[in-house]
């Protein structure tokens, strides 16, 4: 299959300005996560893959391509390590509200379920997190109390099934590609549903539980 040369830095920029992880871009573009990782790392892609990614990012495929001569003379950017963020365990609907309120975007992930029951339970919760992100600020106070109560019960269901919910809300600064002097403020919500025995979970003094999350290096805290 013919390969094309991709401007990996521009592709990465377009992705992170949407506050998308590599997994989210792969999902929207209907390509493999490893395909996105390889393109961003090497700048090489099949024409079919870059067409699908361009469509997901709402740009023309030609905007993501480099000419061979440009690719040869371009300096390889230094690789920066992802930024670790510590997520706190969420045990109530009120905790969920605090993470999602005012967020412009988010990343929602989970450990793989092993049974149909687990898939239904975790899948329904994560789907609601996606939907709630869009309407969180429009919910009336009375409905907010009811919704928080319902989410507390659902988090307890996940706990009984062997899962723990973690989350955090972070304020980020994104510098505009077209206007380097312009810095936009974003609130980024992170929700992760992990198995309670996941080795990433750290218990502090036997009480507070946290888990680390790797934030893309192009995003910076304000």
pLDDT in tens, 13-46: 888 767 677 888 888 999 988 888 888 888 888 8
pLDDT of residue 79: 46
For residue 171, the cross-strand partners are 187
What tens digit of pLDDT does each residue of 63-80 get?
888 655 444 444 544 445
Distance CA(124)–CA(43), nearest Å, equals: 37
Closest Cα partner for 188 from 215, 151, 166?
215
Distance CA(111)–CA(57), nearest Å, equals: 27
pLDDT of residue 46: 86
Distance CA(176)–CA(10), nearest Å, equals: 12
pLDDT of residue 149: 94
| Mean pLDDT score across all residues of the chain | 80
What percentage of the chain has pLDDT greater than the value 70? 77
pLDDT beneath 70, residues of the chain = 1-3, 17, 19, 66-84, 137, 173-183, 205-208, 214-222
pLDDT of residue 70: 45
Strands (E), 56-102: 83-90
pLDDT of residue 72: 46
pLDDT of residue 82: 55
Closest Cα partner for 190 from 216, 157, 162, 155?
216
Closest Cα partner for 189 from 124, 126, 111?
126
pTM value > 0.75:
no
Domains of the chain: 3-73 (1.10.260.40), 83-221 (no CATH)
């Amino acid at each position: 299959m013919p390969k094309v040369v991709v401007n990996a830095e521009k592709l990465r920029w377009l992705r992170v300005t949407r506050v998308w992880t590599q997994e989210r871009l792969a999902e929207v573009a209907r390509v493999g996560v490893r395909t996105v990782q390889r393109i961003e790392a090497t700048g090489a892609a099949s024409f079919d893959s870059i067409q699908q990614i361009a469509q997901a990012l709402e740009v023309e495929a030609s905007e993501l391509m480099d000419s061979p001569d440009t690719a040869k003379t371009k300096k390889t950017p230094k690789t920066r390590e992802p930024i670790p963020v510590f997520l706190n365990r969420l045990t109530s609907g009120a905790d969920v509200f605090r993470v999602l309120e005012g967020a412009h975007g988010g990343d929602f992930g989970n450990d793989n379920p092993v049974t149909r029951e687990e898939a239904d339970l975790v899948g329904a919760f994560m789907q609601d997190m996606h939907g709630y992100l869009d309407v969180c600020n429009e919910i009336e106070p009375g409905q907010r109390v009811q919704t928080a109560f319902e989410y507390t019960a659902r988090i307890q269901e996940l706990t009984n099934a062997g899962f723990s919910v973690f989350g955090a809300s972070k304020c980020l600064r994104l510098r505009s590609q077209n206007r380097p002097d312009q810095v936009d403020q974003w609130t980024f919500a992170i929700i992760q549903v992990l198995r309670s025995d996941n080795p990433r979970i750290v218990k502090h003094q036997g009480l507070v539980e946290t888990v680390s999350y790797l934030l893309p290096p192009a995003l910076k805290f304000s």
